[in-house]
Structure 1
Amino acid sequence: MEITDVTAVTVDMPLVDLDERLGIGPYVTNHGRLESMERVLVRVDTDEGVSGWGEMRVFLSPAATESILEDGVGPMIQGQSPFEIERLRRQVFVEYTNVDMFFSAVETACWDIVGKTLDRPVYELLGGWTAPSQGSQQHRQAIDGDNLTPDPVPVAFCLGILPLDESRVKAREALEAGFDVLKTKAGEDWREDVKRISAMHDEVDGQLEFRLDPNQGWTLDQAVRVGAMLEDEGIYLQYMEQPIRVDAHRSLSRLRQRLRQPIAPNEDTYISHNIQSLVEAGAMDVGVIDLTPAGGISGLRQQAAVLEDAGVPFTHHCAFDLGIRTAAILHAFTGIPGFSLPPDSTYYGWEDDIIEAPFEVSDGCLPAPRGPGLGISVDEDAVEEYRIS
Structure 2
Amino acid sequence: MEITNVAAETVSVPVVPLDDGGLAPYVTNHGEVESMERVLVRVDTDEGISGWGEMRVFLSPRTTETILEDGIAPWVVGHSPFETESLRRQVFIEYTNVDMFFAPIEIACWDIVGKVLDKPIDELLGGRTAPGLTERTIDPNRQETSRVDVAYCLGILPPAESREHARHAHEQGYSVLKTKAGRDWREDVDRIVAMHDEVDGRLDFRLDPNQGWRFDEAVRVAAALEDAGVYLQYMEQPIRVDAHGTLARLRQRTSQPIGPNEDTYIAHNLRELIERDALDVAVLDMTPAGGIAAVRQLAGIAEDAGVPAAHHCAFDLGIRTAAVLHAVSGIPGFTLPPDTVYYAWEDDVLTERLAVEDGSIAVPDGPGLGVEIDPAKVEEYRVDHD
Task: Normalising by structure 2, report the TM-score.
Answer: 0.96
Distance 1:105 1:94 in 2: 17
Question: Matched residues, percent identical?
Answer: 67
User: 1:12 maps to which residue?
Assistant: 12
Whether the 8 Å CA contact 2:322–2:363 is kept in 1: the answer is no
State the Cα deviation string for residues 245-277 of structure 1 (Å, max 9, x = none). Answer: 000001111011110000000000112210001
Distance 1:204 1:330 in 2: 27
User: 2:98 maps to which residue?
Assistant: 99
* Residue among 339, 342, 345 paired with 1:344: 339
Query: Does 2:259 match 1:260?
Result: no
Output the amino acid matched with 1:213: D
State the Cα deviation string for residues 290-315 of structure 1 (Å, max 9, x = none). Answer: 00011000000000110000000011
Output the amino acid matched with 1:105: P
User: 1:81 maps to which residue?
Assistant: 80
Distance 1:265 1:91 in 2: 28
User: 1:2 maps to which residue?
Assistant: 2
User: 2:62 maps to which residue?
Assistant: 63
1:150, distance to aligned residue in structure 2 (A): 3.4
User: 2:118 maps to which residue?
Assistant: 119
State the Cα deviation string for residues 96-151 of structure 1 (Å, max 9, x = none). Answer: 00000000000000000000000001011112534797438xx89999xxxx8533
Q: What's the RMSD between the two structures over aligned residues?
A: 1.6
1:141-156 superposed matches below 5 A: 150-156=145-151
Query: Does 2:216 match 1:221?
Result: yes
Output the amino acid matched with 1:109: A
Question: Residue 28 of structure 1: SS of its match in structure 2?
Answer: strand
Whether the 8 Å CA contact 1:108–1:297 is kept in 2: the answer is yes
1:167, distance to aligned residue in structure 2 (A): 0.6
User: 2:292 maps to which residue?
Assistant: 297
Distance 1:53 1:195 in 2: 42
Distance 1:304 1:27 in 2: 29
Distance 1:384 1:132 in 2: 36
Whether the 8 Å CA contact 2:15–2:23 is kept in 1: the answer is yes
State the Cα deviation string for residues 227-255 of structure 1 (Å, max 9, x = none). Answer: 00000010000000000000000111101
Distance 1:281 1:229 in 2: 25
* Residue among 276, 284, 295 paired with 1:281: 276
Distance 2:133 2:251 in 1: 23
Whether the 8 Å CA contact 2:43–2:52 is kept in 1: the answer is yes
Query: Does 2:150 match 1:167?
Result: no
Whether the 8 Å CA contact 2:206–2:232 is kept in 1: the answer is yes
Distance 1:106 1:217 in 2: 32
1:215, distance to aligned residue in structure 2 (A): 0.3
Question: Residue 19 of structure 1: SS of its match in structure 2?
Answer: helix
User: 1:190 maps to which residue?
Assistant: 185
Q: What stretches of structure 1 of length at least 5 have no aligned partner?
A: none
Distance 1:339 1:258 in 2: 26
Whether the 8 Å CA contact 1:142–1:149 is kept in 2: the answer is no
Whether the 8 Å CA contact 2:110–2:368 is kept in 1: the answer is yes
State the Cα deviation string for residues 53-80 of structure 1 (Å, max 9, x = none). Answer: 0000000000000000001111111111
User: 2:37 maps to which residue?
Assistant: 38
Question: Residue 150 of structure 1: SS of its match in structure 2?
Answer: coil
Query: Does 2:230 match 1:235?
Result: yes
State the Cα deviation string for residues 169-188 of structure 1 (Å, max 9, x = none). Answer: 11111111110100000000
1:40, distance to aligned residue in structure 2 (A): 0.2
Query: Does 2:3 match 1:24?
Result: no
Output the amino acid matched with 2:18: L
Cα pair distance change 1:141/1:225, threshold 3 Å: farther
Output the amino acid matched with 2:322: A
Distance 2:224 2:131 in 1: 38
Task: Normalising by structure 1, report the TM-score.
Answer: 0.96
Cα pair distance change 1:135/1:338, threshold 3 Å: same
Whether the 8 Å CA contact 1:141–1:150 is kept in 2: the answer is no
Whether the 8 Å CA contact 1:105–1:292 is kept in 2: the answer is yes
1:369, distance to aligned residue in structure 2 (A): 2.8
Whether the 8 Å CA contact 1:119–1:373 is kept in 2: the answer is yes
State the Cα deviation string for residues 295-351 of structure 1 (Å, max 9, x = none). Answer: 000000000110000000011000000000000000001100111110000000000
Q: What stretches of structure 2 of length at least 5 have no aligned partner?
A: none
